[in-house]
Structure 1
């Protein structure tokens, strides 16, 4: 895709969490009591997420400052990260000689049933994105679809989304992803702005869900086998 090829350094991968990272014990943190037996560990605490999001906001402002952009939030899982990222950018703009005028639009990708993906990817609410024509676009996604929870580890999800956005002929496309997963069959694609590179574990919280549950967790946690069975549909 034109404009998307670029050399990436190791720092572009974000904070790398190793495969043997056990996470933090649950009793070190507060979380909704109704999930007390449904989680294995706190994988990334909320405070760490917020600190990393502020750093990404700084990088985005440094790179894209003084350009009008359309922030395209990928729902539902991306809404919290997008809101926090936009808030961080706004705060930085108030204390910087750069500014980043933003408007926010929304798109939804749906491909999961339980912890497995369905064969088809559905793009919801994307039938009329003509506003992207000639604009600088920042796609904000909490879990990068090129290293996702299930079938989209082939990179097909991101390719489908980028092809769709590209069809509206934007001036520029950048992607901010809070999480990318290391999976054997991944495409090697990385977002332009990465929060954390994580192992191939099914994580929930911070708006990431399992059948619509766990979005109310502030931390990113690893779901337990009991939790998967409890909320299975």
Structure 2
């Protein structure tokens, strides 16, 4: 189902049964369903890469990845952007990569406060085209804080690419320039999206179940970030 230039998963979308795909055995009892298989994720990223490369034209850009969940999306997206340039003699352009950390979640709840880490030394973004790469947009408030920070550096332009955007009644109304999937208001894990630092090693994007939330809650786990 397609709309607003992204794939929209309706609220009653159930995803796929775990038995149809391979997931790490240590997570089998902690997942409700596979929302988006890894192959579909890769195909969607390929199209996003083509759209971004087309829109940038011959303009160099700086990719700014939001850690930690965005690192896998960044790597796959940039690789596919390079492939687009490789087959276009006129559009090949250089790009740089940097990283930033934003923290607003504890377990599966937003704290309502945004902690910004690693923002020192962003003056190199001045007069540059910036592509912010994020894993998921929830309320949009966290991204708006980051965009306010970036605006102070006076970049030439800023575009946001997010692999997922969640439909929620508490949304600020912010919408990225590039969106892979619009999803229901469910807590997802996998493809580098975590729950207290777990599930990043899961290739598919899955819905965590209540047992998984309890099993990997901070009170039960001592895994450091």
Q: Shorter-normalised TM-score: what interval?
A: over 0.9
Counterpart Cα distance in 2 of 1:214 and 1:42: 13
SS of the equivalent of 2:4 reads helix
Q: How has the CA–CA distance of structure 1 residues 59 and 223 changed in structure 2, closer, same or farther, with 3 Å as cutoff?
A: same
Deviation at 1:91, TM superposition (A): 1.1
Deviation at 1:187, TM superposition (A): 2.3
Q: TM-score, normalised by structure 1?
A: 0.90
Counterpart Cα distance in 1 of 2:46 and 2:112: 36
Aligned to 1:229, which of 208, 214, 221?
214
Tell me which residue corresponds to 2:16. Answer: 24
Aligned to 1:209, which of 186, 189, 194?
194
Q: Deviations over 1:133-174 (max 9, x none)?
A: 110000000102xxx1xxxx2x32121110001111100000
**How many residues are treated as equivalent by the alignment?**
216
Deviation at 1:10, TM superposition (A): 4.1
- Contact kept in structure 1, 2:144 and 2:174, CA below 8 Å: no
Q: TM-score, normalised by structure 2?
A: 0.93
- Contact kept in structure 2, 1:64 and 1:100, CA below 8 Å: no
Runs of 4+ in 1 over 6 A off after TM superposition: none
Tell me which residue corresponds to 2:49. Answer: 57
Tell me which residue corresponds to 2:149. Answer: 164
| Structure 2 spans left out of the alignment, 5+ residues | 219-225
Aligned to 2:122, which of 115, 124, 129?
129
- Contact kept in structure 1, 2:34 and 2:204, CA below 8 Å: yes
Tell me which residue corresponds to 1:4. Answer: none
2:185 is equivalent to residue 193 of structure 1? no
Deviation at 1:118, TM superposition (A): 2.0
SS of the equivalent of 2:29 reads coil
- Pairwise CA RMSD of aligned residues? 1.2
| Structure 1 spans left out of the alignment, 5+ residues | 1-8
